[in-house]
Each structure stands twice: as structure tokens, then as C-alpha cells.
Amino acid sequence: MKKLMAANWKMFKTHEEGVATAHELVQLVSGRLPDDREMLVIPPFTLLHGVGQVLAGHKGMLLGGENFYPADQGAFTGEICPDQLLDLGCTFALAGHSERRHILGETDDFVGRKVAFGLEKGLAVILCIGETIEERRQGRVEEVLFRQLDKGLSGVTRAVDPDRMVVAYEPVWAIGTGEVAGPEEIIQAHGVVRSRLVNLLGETGNNIRILYGGSVKPDNCASILALDNVDGVLVGGASLKAESFSRIVLA
């Protein structure tokens, strides 16, 4: 299983800044990426074309979208569809990032529709899940992860290509806070996710990558990657600078 090292640039960077960062990343990572690793850059939509052109043709360097709407096309002002992402060279897209769930009110059911639709259209989909600090304090981590997985994967069958289905565990309290989850918390949550994936999808569930996200930095990445059932990382803040993201990618 190849480790997936993903950068989520969220709503940062002008076109010029994004293209410059992509050039730097290619310089720092090209030729040094091990065969068992992939680097995925997920920039804002305005940068997909520019960043895609820079990454194109570089082995193991992939492009993804931060979001999409589950329809072929239509009157959905402000939205983007899978075909438009594919058209710009995206192979991956996020679904259900906690910022979309908590700031924009996306429900588990809506996220499930997106996952199924994105897969049907040919994207690889990264389903993001994770509990809030209140849910953790109430001892509800497992319940929340089960619910988000069950609904998020409700349209996914055992026949899914495991290379095109990824789950990212991102505890909401660790996102952008500098407070990374501890090894025990990560091992426990990823174990819960793995066993639910196997319950839902049989043997396929063992081959689906589970990423950790939440305050991943160059100096904690290698130890997180070494934990059981951690098959990559989804990085926000520390992915914005090529120098720091390249150290994460090569950690």
C-alpha cells in the first residue's frame, strides 16, 4: 500500500504564490520520492490549472480538489462537479472535510452522496471524518466515527477499487491548533476505522488507506507514519510552505 502524503491548501494563496510553491515542491521532491509514496496537492479551485501544469508528468505527484457537488452539471451556483475536476487533471477529491461539515453545515448523508457520486465519476475520494473535543470528552469517539463511516460509505460496495477510496481521520480539536493527537489516540482511532471498514467492505477494507490529519509537522510526521494503520497524512498549515511540506513528504 503506497503512503499518501496530501497537502490541503484550504483557502490560501494567490495564483502566483500557488504556482511558485508547486515549482519549489517539485524541485525539492522530484527524484527523491520513494516508489511506495505518493504526493498529492489539493489547492483551491483557482489554482488547479496552474498547479496541475507544474505537477504534470512528475512521477507520484498528484492533484486533487477540495470539494465537489454530487451532480453531473447544472444550476448549482458556486459549486464544481467531478467532471470539471477530472478535466483539470485531478485524480483525487476530498469529501466531508470537518470545515465543510462544521462551517458550511454539510450532513453525513450529503457527504455520503458525494462519496458515491465522486467514485462513480472516476475520482478517488478521501472521506474525512473525526470527532470534536466535546464528543471526545463525552466518550463518543467510536460512535461518531462509526456514524460518519456508515453514512459516508453508504453508497460504496465491496467491489470498490481500494486505490480510489481513502479515509482521513482528522480529530477536529487537532486541526490547525498545534495540538497533535497522541500516539495512543491515533492508534485507537485508526484501529476503530480499520475494523469498521472491514465490517462494511470485507477484505477490501484492509486495503483502504487511512490518513491522519491534524497539526502534522515535519518533526512529528515520521513518528505518526510509523503507527499501526497510518497509511499517510493530510496536512493543512504545514503544507503551505514547500520547504516544510517537502520534509513531511520525505519523512
Ligand X SMILES: O=C[C@H](O)COP(=O)(O)O
Binding residues for substrate are 8-10, 176, 215, 236-237
Q: Report the sign of the C-alpha dihedral through residues 114, 91, 25, 5, in that order.
A: positive
> Exactly one of 235, 248, 249, 251 binds ligand X (CB under 6 A); which one?
235
Catalytic-role residue among 38, 66, 106, 170: 170
Q: Which residue stretch of 33-41, 71-79, 188-196, 209-217 sits at the interface with ligand X (rule: CB under 6 A)? A: 209-217
User: Which is nearer to ligand X, 25 or 175 (by Cβ)?
Assistant: 175
Place of cell 485507537: 188
Distance of closest approach, residue 57 Cβ to ligand X, in angstroms: 26
Is 170 among the residues that bind ligand X (CB under 6 A)? yes
- Count the neighbouring beta carbons within 10 Å of the beta carbon of residue 61: 21
User: Is residue 15 annotated as a catalytic residue, yes or no?
Assistant: no
Q: 37-42 and 124-129 as β-strands: parallel, antiparallel, unpaired?
A: unpaired
C-alpha 161/C-alpha 26 separation (Å) is 28
Is 185 noted as a catalytic residue in this protein? no
Q: Which stretch binds ligand X (CB under 6 A): 16-24, 26-34, 74-82, 208-216?
A: 208-216
Provide CB contacts within 8 A for 74, sequence distance 6+.
Answer: none
In the 8-state DSSP scheme, what is residue 59? T
Among 96, 171, 205, 236, binds ligand X (CB under 6 A): 236
**Rounded Cα gap, residues 183 and 113, in angstroms:** 32
Residues in touch with ligand X (CB under 6 A): 8, 97, 170, 175-176, 213-216, 234-238
Catalytic residues: 97, 170
